[in-house]
Amino acid sequence: MLAGIPRPASVPVTRISDVVKHTATSVVTIERFIIEQEKLHPAATGELSGLLYDLALAAKMIANKVRSAGLADILGATDLENVQGERQQKLDVLANEIIIKALDHGGRLCAMASEEEPGIIDIPPNFPCGKYCLLFDPLDGSSNIDVNVPVGTIFSVVRKITPGSRGEMEDMLQRGRQQVAAGYVIYGSSTMLVYTTGQGAHGFTLDPSLGEFLLSHPNIRTPDAGRYLSVNDSYYIQWEPNVKNLMSYYRGQDGNRQPMSTRYVGSLVADFHRNLLGGGLFAYPANRRNKRGKLRLLYEASPLAFIVEQAGGAASDGQQRILDIQPTELHQRTPLFIGSANDVDAARKMLGDAKSASSVSAVGSVGA
């Protein structure tokens, strides 16, 4: 089922496991998996499948650059700032160029948007346009690359909704629930790509000897209650009282739940990935300095929210579901609470409904 398009009740649901038989001895490449997923949609043209494979190719190219970062002159910052007013790292610029050049000529996109660019990235006039728009954060957490901390790429795909061949701002400013695909790549001890098209969340690990992404984590499911809390406590003094109460609740300091263990890398993809697989919550609340939050809705929050919901988790800004937020600008920021469903629900109850921690049911497990 494509995102946002309901399936008639009379039509039986086909599971991914019915199409791709993953056994201990099978080798399922991402290309094979994407093609098999396409078979679930008889009317599919293959454009989205080709786009996803192009993204996998770009991820391999970025992974190669990340692995050689300490040997080549691509560490450190440039003299440039991005549209957010942040100093661009050399790898930010390189990853941004790799994704644009890998996807601007295939005839599958009508426009792109990047966290590193101020406006819409047009498809060159000598290349054909397609029916999809791509929004991406080329290298999340890039300030950590100098100290060998995992970094990542995040992407979102939406369908063009305006007339004409070229992408418009209206095409970009769609609610997260209108995404047709989303994913991220984490460049760490291994390189792993996780994506969804609305048929569950699936993970692929790059085999360096083959140069291929192989299916390693089919049908990812995240626990309902997490054991890890990922939050930057340095903002404590700038949090509102209800946010402070929420963080005390997660830590079990009010006696209403068992405490979560704090694990914070400072790289969104790294923290999200750990919590997705092991169970937990990533929290970046609004504060007195960043009243609208700090993370980008279109490049970070919405694509990760699509993935976590497909894995059984949830994502909220503390007031509403991330996928229901209507964007009004390309680089819009948002607070973010994302991860295990029960832990996100606690944030919604304590922040959205302004209830005290005593009204939240005791959930969670003892942290490691």
Give the pLDDT score at 13: 47
DSSP annotation string for 157-225: EEE--SSSSS--HHHHS--GGGEEEEEEEEESSSEEEEEESSS-EEEEEEETTTTEEEEEE-S----SS
Pairing of strands 109-114, 132-140: parallel
Pairing of strands 333-334, 261-262: unpaired
For residues 311 and 184, the answer to whether their CB atoms sit within 8 Å is: no
What is the spatial distance between Cα 89 and Cα 99, in angstroms, rounded to a whole number?
16
What is the spatial distance between Cα 68 and Cα 8, in angstroms, rounded to a whole number?
50
DSSP annotation string for 45-111: -SHHHHHHHHHHHHHHHHHHHHHTTTTTT--SEEEEE-TTSPEEEHHHHHHHHHHHHHHSSSSSEEE
3-class DSSP state of 229: strand
The burial of 207, by beta-carbon neighbours within 10 Å (0-12 exposed, 13-18 middle, 19 or more buried), is given as middle
Write down all domains in the chain, each with its CATH number in brackets: 16-217 (3.30.540.10), 228-359 (3.40.190.80)
Give the pLDDT score at 24: 52
Query: Which two structure tokens, joined as six digits, stand for 151?
Result: 């970094």
Low-confidence ranges of the chain (pLDDT < 70): 1-25, 69-88, 353-368
Considering only CA atoms, which of 195, 245, 186 is closest in space to residue 220? 195
What is the spatial distance between Cα 287 and Cα 22, in angstroms, rounded to a whole number?
45
Query: Which two structure tokens, joined as six digits, stand for 8?
Result: 């008639």
Give the pLDDT score at 77: 52
Give the pLDDT score at 148: 81
Give the pLDDT score at 142: 78
What is the spatial distance between Cα 240 and Cα 56, in angstroms, rounded to a whole number?
41
Give the pLDDT score at 143: 76
Give the pLDDT score at 122: 97
pTM for the model: 0.87
Torsion of CA 15, 301, 142, 147, to 10 degrees: -80
Give the pLDDT score at 39: 84
Classify each residue of 144-161 as buried b or exposed e, where b means 16 or more C-beta atoms within 10 Å of its C-beta: bbeeeebbbbbbbbbbbe
Question: How many Cβ atoms sit within 10 Å of the Cβ of residue 196?
Answer: 22
For residues 173 and 328, the answer to whether their CB atoms sit within 8 Å is: yes
Element holding 17 (H helix, E strand) = helix 16-19
Give the pLDDT score at 21: 59
Question: How many Cβ atoms sit within 10 Å of the Cβ of residue 77?
Answer: 16
What is the spatial distance between Cα 43 and Cα 59, in angstroms, rounded to a whole number?
28
Query: Which two structure tokens, joined as six digits, stand for 112?
Result: 């792109």
Give the pLDDT score at 73: 53
Give the pLDDT score at 86: 59
Q: Which residues contact 155 (CB under 8 A, 6 or more apart)?
A: 55, 99, 134, 135, 136, 137, 182, 183, 184, 303
CA 334 to chain centre: 14
For residues 39 and 49, the answer to whether their CB atoms sit within 8 Å is: no
